[in-house]
Amino acid sequence: MNKETKKLADEISFRLLATNKHPDYKWLCNILNQQTFKRKQFNMKKSLNTWYPIIIAFAAMCYSIGLGLLGHTEEAQYSAHWSGTILLFAIAIRQRRIL
C-alpha cells in the first residue's frame, strides 16, 4: 500500500468520522489502491489517437532530411512541405470534430 492511498484513505475516514482502526479501513485502502492503479494505466489506443499526426509528420521530416543528405535536394524540398501539411490537416480535422 503506497503513501498516496493511505493519505487518501485517512482523509476519507476523517470526513466520515471513522478512524483508521475501523474494520473496513483496510478494504477502503485496497479499493482506493485499485482505482488509482486503473487511472494510471497507459492507454495505447488513446495515446496513438492523440499523437499520430505528430508521428507521421516527424517521419516525413526525417524522410526529407534523408533525401537532402543523400544529395536529392529537389526531392527534399518537395517533401519538406509534407510535415507542415500533415499537421495543418490534423488541426483542421480536430477543429471540425469539436463543432
Same domain, 16 and 62: no
- Predicted TM-score of the model (pTM): 0.56
Looking at the chain, the whole-number percentage of residues with pLDDT higher than 90 is 40
- How many domains are there within the chain? 2
d(CA 68, CA 22) in angstroms, rounded, equals: 69
Q: Tens of pLDDT along 67-97? A: 999 999 999 999 999 999 999 999 999 888 8
Question: How wide is the angle at C-alpha 95 spanned by C-alphas 99 and 81, nearest 5°?
Answer: 155
C-alpha cell at 47: 495515446
Same domain, 16 and 61: no
Determine the structural domain holding residue 14 and report its residue range: 3-40
